[in-house]
Every structure is written in C-alpha cells, then in structure tokens.
Structure 1
Amino acid sequence: MVVISQNPTMKIEKIRDDIDLPIINLLNKSEAMKEMVRACEEYGFFKVINHGMPQEIISQVEEEAAGFFAMPGPEKLRAGPPYGCKNIGLKGDVGEVEYLILQANSSPFLIQSDDSNKFSSAINAYVEAVRKLACELLDLLMEGLLGSTPNPTTSSMLSRLIKDRESDSILRFNHYPPVDVSTDSPKIGFGEHTDPQIITLLRSNGVKGLQISIEDGVWIPVNPRPESSFCVNVGDLLQVMTNGRFVSVKHRVAVQPFESRMSIAYFAAPPLHATVSCLPGVAAPPIYRSFSWGEYKQAAFMRRLGDTRVNLFERAIS
C-alpha cells in the first residue's frame, strides 16, 4: 500500500477535469476481455456494467451500512475493532472518514443490537456475490492477458487464490461526512495510496470524491456515473504478477461539500502464505522478485500514506 500526509487538508495541486473511465459491458465477454486489458494497461482503473450482481443484494447492504453510519457515535463504537474513525493505518495518518473493516472469508461480527443479524446477513450475501464477480473478472483478465485459447487451469490461476478458504480478502465500508466549504478548507477523506492486494471492486453512492493520479502531481476526479457500475482497479500484486504490464495507480478520496459519500470496497487478496511472482506465460524476464503476500502486506502497512512503494515491490531482479 502506498500509504497523504498526516494533515488531511488538501494542498494546492493541479486538478484536471473529471475523467470518464472505460466502461466495460460484461454482456459481451470477448470484447470485455480486450477492453479490460487495455484499461488495466492505460488507467489501472475501469468500470463494469451488466455485471450480474443482483440489485437487491447491493441495495440491502448499502441500506444497512447507511443505517449503521447514521447511528450515534457510542452505538457505532459497540461494533468494536471493525469500526474506526479518522485514524488510518498504523503510522498516524488521519482522514475525514469513518469505516468498518471486515475479513471477507469469515462470518462478520458487527454490533450487539436488534439489527446486527440483519446487517451481517446482508454482508454475507454481498461478499459471496462480489467474490464471484471478482473471480469472473480475474478469469477474463487472465484470458485476455495470455491471448490464447482459454485453458481452465491457466485462466483460473488468480481466481483460485481468491476462492481459497484462507484468502486474506477484505470488505471495507467507508463513510465520508460532508464538509461546509463556507467554513472549512477542502479536505482529504482518504489520502493517496495504491491498493496492495490483487484487485479492488468498489461501489459508491454516486457522490463524487474519488480521484486518480495517472501522471505524478496531477489528480483527476472520477465521474461517479453510471451509478449501477462497479469501479475496478489493479492492485500492487497484480502489477507484479503481470510483470508491470498492468498498473497499480495512486488514488485518494476528497471530501465533498454538503454531500455524504459512502463506498464499499472488496479487496481481493490471496492467502498470507501465497507466493507472489510473475505469472506463467507473461513476458519474461521478471522485473520483480518473488515474495509472499504476508511479507508484502506487513511491509506495506507499516508505511505512511504518500510514501514511495515498499522495497519489495521496487526491487528488480538483476
């Protein structure tokens, strides 16, 4: 994780106009495969529509999450360690955000209240559905990357890591309360970083805030439409596994005036013991050394927001 400064107030920076990320229609799998590969190479981000996730599952978990964040602070604190506010990571970074972080390979425990079972049930259904979508996307990316007749063993190399019972995947709910721009300076909700995992699937409530940096020093707001889409981005591990062909791009979230933003991110990760290296069939020689996900995760999460990538990630094979 390339984990802005401890000060959550935005600096004077170059902000370009909104970007419309590539929108991938999953109804046409063969075309989607090609477009996804291009998007991962050029942007590190894309959106998917006609993704097949039942709207009732999405709506239910969004409704329950919104209800949770609307509760008084003491009630939210009853959720225990899954709940956090302002503090980000282990090195003193802060942001204008409150959140829930849950392991996505086990039944979540949230709050002791009359509605906790309802929220847990909604989360379990969402995790099952979003994991299935993540695996489908990874299989398509593998087929498009290798550019050959689909081989079930080869094309499922990445999705098998996500389906593993010891997968270290995470589900994170982020809530960014609005700021009053008449009294407050523009602020960062979550500072610049890359996602350390393989791939991220993000849902939001249609409120702006997400920004990406394809070019150093330039931030581009992402258009939140269409609201029915999932925003998908390449993680650090996928950049390593594709030998740098796919790019893990820095991004952040800016707090919006008078509008509350909520997002749900599924971070697809392998088991902690899984070895991360250049995938078979990808152009050689490999430019990154092999390491375990646990090794990379430990090093990545000990960094500050905005720091350069960890040495494991940058160390090329001589």
Structure 2
Amino acid sequence: MVVLTKRELEQIALPAVQLAAPPLALVPEVDLSAVEASDAARSAAARAVAKACEDHGFFKVTGHGVPAPLLARLDAAAAAFFALPQRDKDKAAAGAGGGSPPFGYASKRIGDNGDLGWVEYLLLGVTAAGAAAAPVALSEGAESSCFRDVLDEHIAAVRRMTCTVLELMAQGLGLDDEGVFSRLVLDRDSDSLLRVNHYPARPEAAGEPAEVRRRLTGFGEHTDPQIISVLRSNDAAGLEMSLRDGTWVSVPSDTRSFFVNVGDALQVLTNGRFRSVRHRVVVSSARPRVSVIFFGGPPPRQRLAPLPGLVDREGGRRRYRDFTWREYKTSAYRTKLADNRLCYFETTATS
C-alpha cells in the first residue's frame, strides 16, 4: 500500500475547481474482429481509426482477440503483486529492466522532476521477442514465475494487436506502406515498455459523502511520448481525457476493451494530423484501480520526422524538424509531466 505524508497529499490534490468529476466521454469504438472479414470491412475500420486519431487522439478497440482468461489471470497476478509486503515489492526496484532507472518498482514519485501521484507501479522494458526485458524481482516461488509468465503472454498478445492498429492507421492515412509504423514497434531495438499501475483506494474515502470527497491526482496530466499506448484497466474509473477544445471528460471503465492513445512520436510522423492526447488519472473512490499499458516505441537511434507523403499534402510544410528518439527522450526526461515536450522540436519553416 502506498503511504503518503499529509504534505505530499496536499501537493497532489487537484484544485478545488476540479472537485466535480467531468462528464462522461463518448469514446470512438473500432471492432477489430471485422478487419479480416473483407477488404471493405478493413477499409471501414481504417477510416474509423484515422478519424478517431484526428478528432480525439484516442479510441477503444473491441474484438481484439486477446483471450479473456489471459486478462483475468493478469488482473489476478497484478493484484497479488501489489498486495505483497512493501519489502518484497521494493526488491523489484533493482533488477527489472536491467536494474537502472526508470525500470522496476516505484511509488508516489513519477520521474525525477517533482511529479507526485497516488500510485505505485511496475515499469518493464520489452524485448525484441515481445517479453519482459528482465525477470520480475518479486520473491522466490511459484507466484513470481506465474507473474512473469502472464506478463510475457500479455505483452506478446497486445503487441500483435497494436501492430494491427498501427497498420490500420497507415491505411486510414492513405499511405502506400501500411507497415511504416508497425515496423518501428517490431524492430529488434524497439524501445517499447510495459507499465502496470496500481492506484490504491483514496484514504478515508469509505463512508465519506461524495459531495465533499477530494479527488487526488493518481497520475498527472500528460501526453505519452511513444508512438502509441494501449491500455486496459479493471472496472474502477479514474481515466480522464482532454478533448481538442480543452474540455476534460471521464472515460467509462470497460474491462473487455483496450483504449488506444496517439503518442507524441506518432504526432510527429503524421505531421500533426494525428495529435497525442492529454490525459490523467484521478482517484476519488474506495476501490483501487489497476491498469496495464503497453507503450510501442521506436528504436533509440530512429530518426523521427514527418512522413514525406503527408508533408506533400500540406504544400511542403513540415511542422517538426528531424530528431532521434533518443534525443527526444533525453529532452522529455528534463521536463515535468504536464509540459509540452514537442514544442522544442517544432518548426514553422517549409521545405
């Protein structure tokens, strides 16, 4: 269980204007089960994906093919991990993902720039084979092996589904090369991650009147740096998205679906046609929330730049300069969560 001091709680409480939960979002939905039915069905799905990315920067997928029993086992394994004594969870802070920050287990502090959240999490690198990059250092015994196995199985299934979505994005953009995005995630040096977040029940929330219950910041407002993020959670609410006009909306929980976010790298590759979505997690209930997110990233040395075909459609205007993924990550790690990290790579020049 995460334990914060009173001062830390005050630092992560949302402003008073945010006491009321925002309205529910109307989340665009794409059924992947129809993709293989016919060319027409695939084209329709590709158009729906592209429109969702342009209008909102996020959508949810159903018919994804990730087995329900696997998801149930993952939920149980994650809950078991976060229920371990703190000393056992702390063992995972040294060893997962190679033993160097930011990989492994952590709580309360998100990054190195002062961001705090009512959250504890496990962050793992993903290998070229689509598995956790290093053994999860929990405790000895069958429970540890079970968690590692279910994480590997989940990563493999979700990465396959992610690549299908990326190919639909390319098709929806009218690109000749439908593998232009998915190849980056499948590359042997792909910088992909898996994050397992646990947001404990808000302290003293049980029995407290809803009208006076403070909403705590679980994970502060931000965009995801990678190409794409694919999230699934248990049935506890808390995820909120910012619409294009700046309005915040609550995303209804849906344990059967995956939620897809456009990341900063994809915004650059599409020359701003797809825009990364600002989102956050708030905690206001007596029920814990667990979410598992796959982040599909490019190789560190990969040069990121708007795709020429998309630049041509805007009369040659390039909204971003060329840079490597490593260069972008280095810059992003110096910022706070809510900062606009892409502004340092924008250009108003035309070519």
Task: Output the TM-score relative to the length of structure 1.
Answer: 0.91
Once the two structures are superposed, what CA deviation does each residue of 1:163-199 show, in whole Å capped at 9, x if it has no partner?
A: 1111100000000001134396320100000000000
Question: 1:219 is matched with which residue: 230, 248, 260?
Answer: 248
What is the CA–CA distance in structure 1 between the aligned matches of 2:56 and 2:252, rounded to whole Å?
14
CA distance in 2, matches of 1:217, 1:199: 21
Residue aligning to 1:44 = 57
Contact 2:264–2:342, Cα closer than 8 Å, also in 1: no
Cα shift at 1:310: 4.2
Task: Give how far 1:208 is off.
Answer: 0.7
SS, match of residue 27 in structure 1? helix
User: Are 1:193 and 2:222 matched, yes or no?
Assistant: yes
Partner of 1:262: 290
**From 113, 116, 119, the counterpart of 2:140:** 113
Instruction: Please give the alpha-carbon distance, in whole angstroms, between the structure 2 residues aligned to 1:213 and 1:6.
Output: 24
Farther-moved stretch of structure 1 (193-202 vs 158-167): 158-167
Quick check: 1:204 aligned with 2:233? yes
Per-residue Cα deviation, 1:273-315 (whole angstroms, up to 9, x for no partner)? 0011112421342211111011001111210122233443434
User: Structure 1 pair 104/13, CA: closer, same or farther in 2 (3 Å)?
Assistant: farther
Q: Tell me the equivalent position of 1:274.
A: 302
- Does 1:56 pair with 2:69? yes
2:87 to 64, 74, 83: 74
For 1:314, the equivalent position in structure 2 comes to 346
- State the SS of the aligned residue for 1:245: coil
Change beyond 3 A, Cα 1:239–1:229: same
**Two-structure CA RMSD over aligned residues (Å):** 1.9
Task: Give the Cα–Cα distance (whole angstroms) in 2 for the partners of residues 96 and 316 of structure 1.
Answer: 39
> Which secondary structure state, in structure 2, belongs to the residue aligned with residue 264 of structure 1?
strand
- Over residues 67-115 of structure 1, what are the superposed CA-to-partner deviations in whole Å (9 max), with x where a residue is unaligned? 1011121111111240000000111211000000000115432123212
The corresponding residue for 1:170 is 193
The DSSP-based 3-state class of the residue aligned with 1:76 is helix
Cα 1:260–1:33 shift into 2, 3 Å:
same
1:20 aligns with 2:26: yes
**1:304 aligned residue:** 336
2:33, 2:217 → 1: CA distance?
36
Equivalent position amino acid for 1:140 in 2:
L
Amino acid in structure 1 at the alignment position of 2:110: I
SS in 2 for 1:19: coil
Q: Which structure would you say has the larger Rg?
A: 2
- Confirm or deny: 8 A CA contact 2:331 2:341 kept in the other structure: no
**2:105 is equivalent to residue 83 of structure 1:** yes
Q: Given residue 126 of structure 2, which amino acid in structure 1 is its aligned partner? A: A
Residues 107 and 124 in structure 1, CA contact (< 8 A), matched pair in contact too: no
Give me the whole-angstrom Cα distance separating, in 1, the residues matched to 2:294 and 2:193.
Answer: 6
Which structure 2 segments of 5+ residues have no match? 1-8, 36-41, 95-103
Q: Which is further off, 108-117 or 48-57?
A: 108-117
Percent pairwise identity? 40
Deviations 1:194-229 (A, max 9, x none): 00000000010021100011146532111113x200
Instruction: Report if aligned partners of 1:240, 1:313 keep a CA contact under 8 Å in 2.
Output: no
Q: Residue 167 of structure 1 aligns to which amino acid in structure 2?
A: S
Letter in 2 for 1:93: D
Match of 1:33 in 2: 46
What letter matches 2:182 in structure 1? S
- Partner Cα distance (1:313, 1:254) in 2: 30
After TM superposition, the score normalised by the length of structure 2 is 0.83
Deviates more, 1:284-293 or 1:91-100: 284-293
CA distance in 2, matches of 1:27, 1:280: 32
Contact 1:45–1:234 (CA under 8 A) maintained in structure 2? yes
Within 2, Cα distance between the matches of 1:6 and 1:142?
44
Residue 230 of structure 1 aligns to which amino acid in structure 2?
F
**Which of residues 126, 145, 165 in structure 2 aligns to 1:137?**
165
Kindly state the Cα deviation for residue 252 of structure 1 after the two structures are TM-superposed. Answer: 0.2
Say if 2:152 is the partner of 1:146.
no
Moved more, 100-109 or 260-269: 100-109
CA contact (8 A) 1:13 1:217 kept: no
